[in-house]
Amino acid sequence: MISENKIQSLFSEHKELKKEIYDPNKMSDRRYYSKISKRFKELEIILNCYNQIQKLKKTISDNKELVKSEDDEELKVLAQEEIDEAEQEIFIKTEELKELLTPKDANDDKDAIVEIRAGTGGEEAALFVADLFRMYTYFAEKQGWKQTLISSNPTGVGGFKEIIFSLSGDNVFGTMRFESGVHRVQRVPVTESQGRVHTSAISVAVLPEADDVDVEINEKDLKIDVYRSSGHGGQSVNTTDSAVRITHLPTGLVVTCQDEKSQLKNKNKAMKVLRSRLLDLEIAKQEAEISASRKFQVGTGDRSAKIRTYNFSQSRVTDHRINLTSYKLNNILLGELDEFIKALKIAHKNEIVNN
């Protein structure tokens, strides 16, 4: 049941925001203006949906009167058909309105930065980093997202100790956020001569890509070092000091980038990652406050938690947060993640509603 009082309060909020949107004095505060502009657009969508429902109700009311008063049987049949169609459309629009009124994470619409790192398992873990990188690449292509490599630390046999990339498009962070955590792989490594199954683990961190208005960084808080890029075994890749290391002194966060030949491009990429990590720290603080009273098992953001296991011998993938198992391992590694993503979103939404 949608509360009319709630709807009327949204109309009032929309009216007040409309005044602020066109106030030149508000435009000078970039952060505040960005915030109210976004909220104004959200309200426009919600209230437009509500207005469509009201028009459909009016159509039903008018046609019911026509059915009562009209003698022409053909017109009565046509009016009843319009009533049936409008009632069906009202049901659809009401469900849509409920979805729009469900509280959303302010960061869901943001682009994302994904960091994948090898954990326990040595070279096998590094190879699994490459597998998941390909999986997310395929998934991004299916979503129509743009992927940009930010930084990588490859090993000699096709794996990665670490790889960082950005994804941009519609609702990227809201879709990818539940991939954060420890992913385990159980399989026989290529180097294993006796056919024994090994268990390796890697960590995935999905960060909302921060805009300038989201995070303020004081240049005085940064220590920036430049050096020559290095490849496998430490050999020099470039002959110029193009690699960049940025240390954020207040938090101790360190970001390095050496993939580009241009020092400026490496610095810009490193700053993008730093802003996103700082925003992620702020989000983690907020989640810690929330979890003091209630624990979201699905959207906890706990990067140390084991969230999913990929068992190659059984072609099985299990998400431990929602006890969902699929026996389509090959398809999943080709980017067919929709079953897991949708189930995780539903579980997280139910947690919010029930707490």
Task: Find out whether 123 and 158 touch, Cβ atoms under 8 Å.
Answer: no
CATH of 112-354, one of 3.30.70.141, 3.40.250.10, 3.90.1150.10, 3.30.70.1660: 3.30.70.1660
Handedness of CA 256, 261, 267, 273 (dihedral sign): negative
pLDDT at site 12: 94
What is the structure's pLDDT at 98? Answer: 79
pLDDT in the model for residue 289: 56
- pLDDT for 229 equals 73
- In angstroms, the Cα distances linking 52 to 38, 41, 63, 81 are 22, 17, 17, 19
Please tell me the predicted confidence (pLDDT) of residue 239: 53
pLDDT value at position 168?
A: 93
Whether the CA torsion 27, 33, 37, 39 is positive or negative: it is: negative
Q: What is the pLDDT of residue 354?
A: 53
Q: In the chain, where are the structural domains located?
A: 4-101, 112-354
Q: Flag residues of the chain having pLDDT under 50.
A: 233-236, 290, 292-297, 300-301, 353
The kind and range of the H/E element at 223 are strand 222-227
Other residues' Cβ atoms within 10 Å of the Cβ of residue 69: 8
Q: Which tokens sit at 231? A: 């490849």
Pick from 247, 230, 256: nearest CA to 151: 256
The whole model's pTM is what? 0.65
